[in-house]
Amino acid sequence: MKIMSINAGSSSLKFSLFEMNEKNCIASGYFERVGLPGSFYTIKYNGEKIREEVDMPNHTVAVEVLLDRLISIGIIQDLSEIDGIGHRLVHGGDKYKSSVRITDEVVEDLRKYSELAPLHNPANILGIEAIQKALPSVPMVGVFDTAFHQTMDPVQYIYPVPYEWYTKYGVRKYGFHGTSHCYISKQIPRLLGTEEYKAIICHLGSGGSISAVQNGKCIDTTMGFTPLAGIMMGTRSGDIDPSIIPFMMQKEDKTVDEVMDDLNKRSGFLGVSQTASDFRDIYVGITSGNEQCQLAFDKYVQTVVNYIAQYYVELGGADIICFTAGVGENASEARMAIMEKLTCLGVKIDLEKNQIRGKEVKISSDDSNIVCYVVPTNEELMIAEDTLTLIGE
pLDDT mean across residues, the chain? 94
| Same fold: 2-144 with 193-379 | yes
**Rounded mean pLDDT, 112-121:** 83
* Fold of the domain spanning 2-144: Nucleotidyltransferase; domain 5 (3.30.420)
Whether the predicted pLDDT of 10 surpasses 80:
no
Residues above pLDDT 90, as percent of the chain: 88
Q: Is pTM beyond 0.85 here?
A: yes
Q: Are 275 and 268 in contact (CB under 8 A)?
A: no
Whether 119 shows a pLDDT value over 80: the answer reads: no
What is the pLDDT, as a whole number, of residue 393?
60
pLDDT for the residue numbered 277: 92
| Residue 289: partners with Cβ closer than 8 Å, 6 or more residues away | none
CB-based contact 328:336 (threshold 8 Å): no
Do you know the residue count of the chain?
Answer: 393
Please choose, from the candidates 150, 130, 283, 285, the residue with its C-alpha nearest in 3D space to the C-alpha of residue 221: 150
CATH superfamily name and code, 193-379: ATPase, nucleotide binding domain (3.30.420.40)
Q: Please list the active-site residues.
A: 145
Compute the average pLDDT of residues 366-382.
96
How far is the C-alpha of 122 from the C-alpha of 120, rounded, in Å? 6
Q: What are phi and psi of 123, to 5 degrees?
A: -65, -40
Write down the domain spans for the chain.
2-144, 193-379
CB 76 within 8 A of CB 2: yes
Which whole number is the average pLDDT over 366-378? Answer: 97
**How far, CA to CA in Å, does 90 sit from each of 125, 131, 299, 377?**
11, 17, 28, 17
Query: Residue 118: what pLDDT?
Result: 79
Contact by Cβ (8 Å): 322, 338: no
* pLDDT over 80 at 361, yes or no: yes
pLDDT in tens, 189-214: 999 999 999 999 999 999 999 999 99
What is the per-residue pLDDT across 74-114, written as a single tens digit (0 to 9) for each?
999 999 999 999 999 989 988 999 999 999 999 999 998 88
